[in-house]
A and B are shown apart, each in its own frame.
Chain A
Amino acid sequence: MKKQEKNNKKSGKEKLANVRTTAIPTWCPGCFNFMILAGFERFLQEQIKLGKKKEDFAIVSGIGCHAKIFDYINLPGINSLHGRGIPTAIGMKLAKPELNVFEFAGDGDAYAEGMEHLIHAARYNSNFKLVVHNNQVFALTVGEPSPVTEEGFKDKTNPMGVKLKPLNPIKLMLASGASFVARVFADVNQIQQVLNEAQKHKGFAFIEVLQPCVIFHPDTNYKAHAYNLQEAKHDKTNIKAAMERAEEFDYDVLKSSTKIPLGIFYQKERATFEDILKR
């Protein structure tokens, strides 16, 4: 601890590594993606400060508003296809297991088009970190419902309102054998912290970031319903307890009694896909 403080002090004068491209973000003013961008940027800068090199990291994204993060963070990698970032990241890890691969996906990417890959990535325990920007809507295509949109949501394509119940991705990931399952709010500190924890975790890390979409799915006061799992002394090694916590929030219309647990639901290391295939 002391050593780290010392380092921090020393680095106060040091210039932080530049991990950004020259691109000027085109997200809407006030978009919560800026929080994810800043959280990832700070995480990278801290990792570099602690001795890692920029080339030790790689970035993958899908298609949607979230994917623009590829244009803003200057790491090697690929802005892949809609839903297909996950197998791309799996292939990258198999080619270079030592590379720290971070994939960013949207709720359309991860829960609709690329659902099969999400389930299998958890099963394989491929050692990359997946950040799902969940704004509960298809934003870049102007506001259609996604698999995690609440019942009753209306847009131009379905003026009668959504008649389906949303999917619960946390339950899905727990059931699929994900070795690290977390959910945070689109807040710079929360993102940086959870990325730090995910980086230390050897195996697939599923991180869902709940975020409003300022245009198509505005904030319904998530924060008022949220509490931190770790502060609540949740046992993250207990899958049953994790499942119970996951059921507290069903992604549907918020009621006054709705509680949204944030933090790490579950974490238990096991052999990674890359380890299993090593001979």
Chain B
Amino acid sequence: MKYNILIGGAAGQGSNIITDIVSEGLLNKGYYVFYSRDYQSLIRGGHNFNLLSFSDEPVYSNSSGIDILVCLDSKTEDIHKKALKKNAIVLSGSNPNMFFAGQIYKILGIELEILEKQMKKLKNFVENMKEALKGYNSEKRNLGLPKLNQNAHGGLRFMTGSQAIAYGALKSGLDLYYAYPMTPATPLMMELGQMQLEKDSRHKVIELESEIAVINAALGSNLLGSKAMIGTSGGGFDLMTESLSLAGMAEIPLVIYLSQRPGPSTGVATYTSQGDLNLALHAGHGEFSRIVIAPGDSKESIEKTNECFYLSQKYRVPCILLGDKHLAESKQSFESELDLREVESSIVKPERFNSYEADEDKDEIASEEAGVIKKNHDKRLKKQKIIEKDIENFEAYKTFGNTNSKNLILSWGSTKGSIIDALKILEEQDKSAKFIQILIVEPFSRKIISELNKAKKIIVVENNSTSQLSRLLAEKAQIVVDDKNKILRYDGRPFLSDELAEEIRRRLK
């Protein structure tokens, strides 16, 4: 079973609060929850909505069709009524937002005491509880959902990608987070900012005058042994690239969170895209090593942030954590066990660093000698080889679906959830495929190449218009993906699992 609840209204009306309250209630009842946010680049007014999918089994994405439509304004009903399923419930009317929360709780059969617990988290408890109760008591419909005895009633973690990255950074010993606000990287800045208020917190969040200041300040901190991280989106990352090359030359560890949104240029500020894979892989002048890791969900956002810290320190390289708006803003439940490493700073004593090619045997003095230039290039090439070898000891990719299938679906990043849910739909139709999610995009694991060579048909799924992953496959594995086997969505929206399942089904052998 899977239900979809759409909660929509104007910006500032409280769709987010209601979605969180409903999510917490469902988690408590033993269900798995996933919700994505669709919002415009404005502060008040407009039309925003959250699409919440829940199930008795793990759920990683949204699907089309609405079971419960919650309209905080009349516009919401006009826009979304065409997506209503048969027998769908529509909640509307000019009620306060907590009235709706009460109504939904009644429909979903969530206990009143849980509702009260949620209301207590809000500022005006008495007033909000009064409205919620009114909504609860006025509602007669009930879906008759059973209480499930799994997940020890809310024993799952429930986080957005941004919250998960913040958690992963703190678990890795983050000292300083430098940033200049830019959607969709800003939610991480906010999370880390708020976390400064927690007892025992020791990290600092510092907003500087530009992305250029941000990356150079982080390099200044890290060359003294700090664990500083920075975050931005495409445009801000562009500004940072000269210093990305400096990190490569001077061999200063740095974790850079690149949260993608549709480009080129300012593009679409609050929607999603995977258009910056090429940017992450190729930004910066000259030849130097980098590591690019793309988590696909909230759990991986914790673990891969930690891996970025670990690897950037181990090899003194810039490590790019490649996310996007869909990952950053979607919230999902997941098992609490985590695989994390201790991160030690690799710079423990004062050292000298240079943006020039420099002679390490002579106090790191700038050098124009042919011998030194070649020696340094050889040193960097050797380091690249070592990293490439070591990457095989890390989780470069994950395999899902029918591992014996000759149909191979390949993707990276936040498309993961929709693909896994699409495979489940295909299984119900007796169709199957193998899905490989690439986690470490650079260096490219040799094991992925051998997986590719075993496949009869390769289908690439991406949120961009040119299939940048296909280009990477051509470069790394000399594999040309047939244009008709590229499933690309580039309207700023994430894939819906049922629509994607249909796209995949049409291409299966």
Where the two chains meet, the residues of A that have a C-beta atom closer than 8 Å to any C-beta of B are 21-23, 55, 58, 60, 63, 68, 70-71, 74-81, 84, 86-96, 99, 116-117, 119-120, 277, 279
Contacts and interface: CB of A to CB of B under 8 A. Distances in A.
Interface in B202-257: 204, 206, 208-210, 212-214, 216-226, 228, 242-243, 246, 250
A63 B355 contact: yes
Given A91-B219, A116-B210, 18 more contacts: A58-B350, A68-B366, A76-B352, A77-B223, A81-B246, A87-B208, A87-B212, A87-B216, A90-B213, A94-B204, A94-B206, A94-B220, A95-B175, A95-B220, A95-B222, A95-B226, A116-B209, A120-B208
B221 A92 contact: yes
Q: Which of A74, A81, A86, A117 has the most CB of B within 10 A?
A: A81
A81 B217 contact: no
Contacts of A70: 352, 354, 366
Nearest 3 pairs of A and B residues by beta carbon? A91-B220, A91-B217, A76-B350
Contacts of B208: 87, 90, 120
Contact of B352 (A22, A78, A92, A99): A78
Q: Which of A58, A63, A76, A86 has the most CB of B within 10 A?
A: A76
B213 A117 contact: yes
B351 A84 contact: no
B207 to A, nearest CB: 11
A78 B217 CA distance: 12
B204, B214, B224 interface centre (most CB from chain A within 10 Å): B224
B351 A80 contact: no
Interface string B346-361: 0000111111101000
B216 A120 contact: no
A27 B61 CA distance: 63
Contact of B366 (A74, A79, A81, A87): A79
Contact of B216 (A79, A84, A96): A84
B189 interface: no
A174 to B, nearest CB: 19
22 contacts: A22-B362, A22-B363, A23-B363, A70-B352, A78-B250, A78-B352, A78-B354, A79-B356, A80-B246, A81-B242, A81-B355, A87-B216, A87-B220, A88-B216, A90-B217, A90-B220, A91-B222, A92-B223, A92-B224, A93-B220, A95-B228, A117-B213
Interface of B is mostly: mixed
A253 to B, nearest CB: 33
A94 B176 contact: yes
B221 to A, nearest CB: 4
Contacts of A90: 208, 213, 217, 220
A117 B209 contact: yes
Nearest to A120: B209
B196 interface: yes
B178 interface: yes
Q: Which of B220, B223, B354, B363 has the most CB of A within 10 A?
A: B220
Contacts of B126: none
A279 B216 contact: no
Interface string B184-212: 00000000000010000000101011101
Interface string B333-374: 000000000000000001111111010001101100000000
Nearest to A20: B363
A100 to B, nearest CB: 12
A91 B228 contact: yes
A126 B131 CA distance: 51
A70 B250 CA distance: 14
A49 to B, nearest CB: 20
B213 A116 contact: yes
Contacts of B220: 60, 78, 87-95
A18 to B, nearest CB: 12
